[in-house]
Amino acid sequence: MAAFRLTVLCENSVAGPFGLIGEHGWASFIETDQARVLFDTGQGQGILNNSRVLGCDIASADCLVLSHGHYDHTGGIADVLGLTGGLTVYAHPDIFLDRWWQRGEVSRHIGMRYRREYLESLGARFDLDPGFRQIAPGIFVTGEVPRVTEFEPPDPNMKVKDQSGNWIQDELRDDLSLIADTPEGLVVVLGCAHAGLINILTMVRERFPDRPIHTVVGGTHLGFAGGEQFQKTLEHLDAFGVKRLGASHCTGLANSSRLYCALGEGFFHAAVGSVVEL
């Protein structure tokens, strides 16, 4: 096996006609010589089927990392726990916030669909910490990402209630990414990149100043970005020397196409069944 292998288990589209299920969501299974990590669980409709079809033994996962507390990244956690039993779950303390998407008269709940107590009854051992940390040999989570750019604002349609019951902007402080240090360089695995792709890569560069960033894979949230944000993201991306960008999920088809036009062979679409090996 390669020193690092990532298999996309949940995503909006599928990479082949193999009985796979696409859904609006994200999950990937990461295998190294020393660890097996499940990163997110999608909505819950595809995680078990797709892992079986793709030959990923998620029951053997050493831990689960949740990138943030949205339904399309956490909805499959109960099904996963049904396979694994007791499992350490790394995440930020804000994952259980009551979250909503609002635009005009339309409002819908987008937070986790399960209560913490129920998941703990299924075996989840939540390890909630907002900081950067190592969770396995060569594998790290960013924790809360500092917002340092002026062009990566939070999604204005995402809301939570303050202590007085008023709707306020959800800053999505719990948005975290996974970093794997491989022989060929760093692999950065995104959930939705609500913190901003350039903010995330800036933090990674600061934490690992002597390591090249080889591959970035996952949701970029650029599907909801305006033209100025998209263009500035492209301009700043060059500075990080990323060899491959595997965009998916909340990148959207239109901006995925634009990324391909800009990056050429350095771009790939990370649909269900896609594999990254280093």
pLDDT in tens, 132-186: 999 999 999 999 999 999 999 999 999 999 999 999 999 999 999 999 999 999 9
SS3 (DSSP) at 127 = strand
Please tell me the predicted confidence (pLDDT) of residue 182. Answer: 97
Nearest CA to 78 among 39, 120, 21?
120
Nearest CA to 19 among 61, 57, 48?
48
pLDDT in tens, 120-140: 999 999 999 999 999 999 999
Q: What's the start-to-end Cα distance of the chain, in Å?
A: 10
Backbone angles phi, psi at 26, to 5 degrees: -155, 135
Fill in the DSSP letter of residue 110.
-
List the chain pLDDT tens, one digit each, 278 residues. 569 999 999 999 999 878 999 999 999 999 999 999 999 999 999 999 999 999 999 999 999 999 999 999 999 999 999 999 999 999 999 999 999 999 988 999 999 999 999 999 999 999 999 999 999 999 999 999 999 999 999 999 999 999 999 999 999 999 999 999 999 999 999 999 999 999 999 999 999 999 999 999 999 999 888 888 999 999 999 999 999 999 999 998 899 999 999 999 999 999 999 999 99
The CA–CA distances, whole Å, from 250 to 110, 190, 256, 259 equal 14, 11, 10, 13
Amino acid identity, residue 260?
A: Y
d(CA 170, CA 34): 36
Contact criterion met (CB below 8 Å) for 41 and 47: yes
Amino acid identity, residue 111?
A: G
The CA–CA distances, whole Å, from 146 to 36, 44, 127, 150, 203 equal 28, 30, 21, 12, 7
d(CA 259, CA 193): 16
Q: Where are the domains of the chain?
A: 4-277
With a CB cutoff of 8 Å and minimum separation 6, the contacts of 259 are 222, 234, 245, 247, 251, 267
The CA–CA distances, whole Å, from 208 to 140, 212, 213 equal 11, 8, 9
Q: pTM (2 decimals)? A: 0.97
CATH of domain 4-277: 3.60.15.10
